[in-house]
Amino acid sequence: MSSNHRENPSKSNVPLYSSIALAVVIIAAYFLVPSVKEFLDEAWRVLTSDDEEQIKQWVAGFGWLGPVVLILAMIIQMFLLVIPSLLLMVVSILAYGPVWGSVIIFAAVFAASSVGYFIGNYFGDRMVVKVIGKKTEEKVASFLEDYGFWAVIITRFNPFLSNDAISFVGGLLRMGYWKFIGATMIGIAPLTVFIAIFGKSIEDLKIGLLWGSLVSLVVFGCYIWWDKKHQNKEE
C-alpha cells in the first residue's frame, strides 16, 4: 500500500495503546467483575441459542433501550468479533419485526460503518492492522482500489465477506464518506429485506443466506471476469 495511506508517525502510538487498554479493560472486567461476566455469558448463550422466543424475551428485557443496545453491539462487535453482525441483524428482526427491525438494522449499520470509516481515516494503517490483520487489510484494500463503489456494495450484500473490514479500509484509503456510506446503505438493503422475509425462521434463513451468498458471489465473479477481459482488450 502506498505511503500516502499511512498515518502520521506522531499518532501511531495512540491507537496502539488505546486498543491494548480497551482489550485489557474488557478482559479484566470479564474475569474480575461477576456481573459483567454473567451478562456477557448470557448474551453469548442467548444470541447463539437458535431459540427465537428466548432471543425475543432477552432483547425485550431492555425495554426502550433494546434498539440502542443492538446498535452499540453492532459497533462493539467490529473490534471484538465475538458475535457476528449478521446474527445481530437477525436478532433485530426477531425482536422487533420486519419493519422496525429493518429500521434498527439500517441505523446500526450506518453507525458502525461510520465509526469504522472514521477510525481508518484518522488513525490510519497501524490501527486498521491491529483490528483486522495485515493480510485482510491488503486483500480488502486491493479489492476496494479495483472496484471502489461496487466493492462496498457487494461486500455489504454478501454476509460472508469482510463486512466490517471494508469500513476500516474505506476510511484508510480516503474514499469519499458519502460515496462510501451510500454504497453501504445500497448494499445492505437487499440483505435486510432478505432477512426481514426469512428471519422468522432461523432454519429457512440459513438456507436462504447460503444460496443468496453463492448466487451473489457467482454474479460478482462473472462481473470481475468480464471486467478483466474488457481491460485486456483495451490494452
Digit-coded pLDDT (tens) for 102-113 = 999 999 999 888
Percent above pLDDT 90 for the chain: 7
Dist. CA 122–CA 7, nearest whole Å: 8
Whether the predicted pLDDT of 145 surpasses 70: yes
Give mean pLDDT, residues 54-72: 80
- Pick the residue with more confidence: 219 or 21? 219
13-22, 180-189, 220-229: least confidently modelled range? 13-22
Dist. CA 171–CA 118, nearest whole Å: 6
The count of C-alpha atoms lying within 13 angstroms of the C-alpha of 189, restricted to the half-sphere facing its C-beta, is: 8
- CB atoms under 10 Å from CB of 88, counted, come to 22
Q: Distance of CA 35 to CAs 28, 62, 192, 215, Å?
A: 12, 16, 33, 44
Dist. CA 90–CA 144, nearest whole Å: 27
Dist. CA 143–CA 79, nearest whole Å: 22
Dist. CA 80–CA 40, nearest whole Å: 12
Mean pLDDT, the chain, rounded, equals 75
Dist. CA 112–CA 75, nearest whole Å: 5
Q: What's the pLDDT band for 165 if we cut at 50, 70, 90?
A: confident
pLDDT for residue 173: 86
- Give the helix ranges, DSSP H, for the chain: 13-32, 34-47, 52-60, 66-80, 85-123, 125-132, 134-157, 165-172, 177-198, 202-234
Give mean pLDDT, residues 109-129: 83
Which amino acid is present at 227?
A: D
Residue recorded with cell 428482526: 93
Asked whether the beta carbons of 117 and 167 are under 8 A apart, the reply is yes
Residue recorded with cell 478483466: 228
Q: Does the predicted TM-score (pTM) go above 0.75?
A: no
Whether the predicted pLDDT of 11 surpasses 50: no
Q: How many residues does the chain have?
A: 235
In sign, the C-alpha dihedral spanning 75, 77, 78, 84 is: negative
The radius of gyration of the chain's CA atoms, rounded to the nearest angstrom, is 19
Whether the predicted pLDDT of 198 surpasses 70: yes
Give mean pLDDT, residues 201-213: 66
- Pick the residue with more confidence: 187 or 132? 187
Give mean pLDDT, residues 144-154: 82
- Pick the residue with more confidence: 123 or 1? 123
